[in-house]
Amino acid sequence: MKKGKLYIVGTPIGHPDDISLRAIEVLKSVDYIACEERKVAMRLLSQHQIEKELVEVNEHTEKEETEQIVLDLAMGQNIALISDCGMPVFADPGTHLLTEAIDTGIPVTAVPGPTSLTTALALSGFDSHRFYFYGFLSPKKEERRAELSQLRHFRDPVVFLDAPYRLLQVLEDLAAAFGNGRHAAVASDLTLKHEDVRRGRLDTLVKHYQADRRKREFVIIVGPGSKKR
């Protein structure tokens, strides 16, 4: 029996129109869709007049759902994996499903889409020929500051993600670890009407977000450190 294919499908990071024609075609053609959160996926599918069975694959369900999904793929079904926004697996659930599919010999392909990482880098103003993607820091303050102390001498931009409610905390810890004068960019609510990209010294950014504590999706890019040894 011919095996099915697993499609890793990129979806919009904010603006609903930022989805490719190919992504829409694939989502319409597969047997069902593995999504991060059903409610978010239903909203996306509704916007594009797509009706498909959904199976939630997130940090709570991925391991238990993977066995059945891989079995369905082995039996010839085509399945798409999407996250709430951006490219699945990248700082999102899906890695366990992907590796199990690959180990089982299931064909896997990606349907590229927007990512907050490259979008924020393009808007940051920093030279992004080389950069270091760190991703999510520890939620615990002491561990977070210890992680940051290891990164302060990087000579290329360093990219961080975190939960919407932790923006100010992360900026304060960055200022403590990297120094108030280090330059950074905070890109929030990318592609939406209220998109905001703020660039400047870390101490200036801290003051701004102390006054504006609205929760928002964000990416922080800290500029390179001194090239002096």
Q: Where are the domains of the chain?
A: 6-111, 116-222
196 strand-pairing partners: 188
- Judged on CB neighbours under 10 Å (0-12, 13-18, 19+), 25 is exposed
Mean pLDDT across the chain: 94
pLDDT at 229 over 50: no
Distance CA 10, CA 97 (A): 16
Give SS3 for 66: helix
Contacts of 52 (CB under 8 A, 6+ apart): 27, 28, 30, 32, 33, 45
Closest by Cα among 92, 89, 123, 97 to 191: 123
List phi, psi (to 5°) of 59.
-60, -20
Closest by Cα among 20, 26, 25, 21 to 5: 26
pLDDT at 160 over 50: yes
Question: Quick one: what percent of the chain has pLDDT higher than 90?
Answer: 90
Q: If you average pLDDT over residues 167-183, what whole number do you get?
A: 96
Q: If you average pLDDT over residues 175-200, what whole number do you get?
A: 96
Closest by Cα among 154, 183, 151, 169 to 218: 169
pLDDT at 71 over 70: yes
Assigned superfamily of 6-111: Tetrapyrrole methylase, N-terminal domain (3.40.1010.10)
**CB of 158 closer than 8 Å to CB of 131:** yes
Higher pLDDT, 210 or 152: 210
Residue 29 CA: distances (Å) to CA of 25, 81, 111: 6, 13, 13
Give SS3 for 59: coil
- Read off the pLDDT of residues 103-152 as tens digits, 9 standing for 90 and up: 999 999 999 999 999 999 999 999 989 999 999 999 998 999 999 999 98
Closest by Cα among 45, 11, 16, 3 to 28: 45
CA angle 33, 36, 42 (to 5 degrees): 60
pTM: 0.89
CATH code reported for the domain at 116-222: 3.30.950.10
Confidence grade of residue 44 (pLDDT, cut at 50, 70, 90): very high
pLDDT of residue 11: 96
Distance CA 139, CA 7 (A): 32
Higher pLDDT, 141 or 197: 197
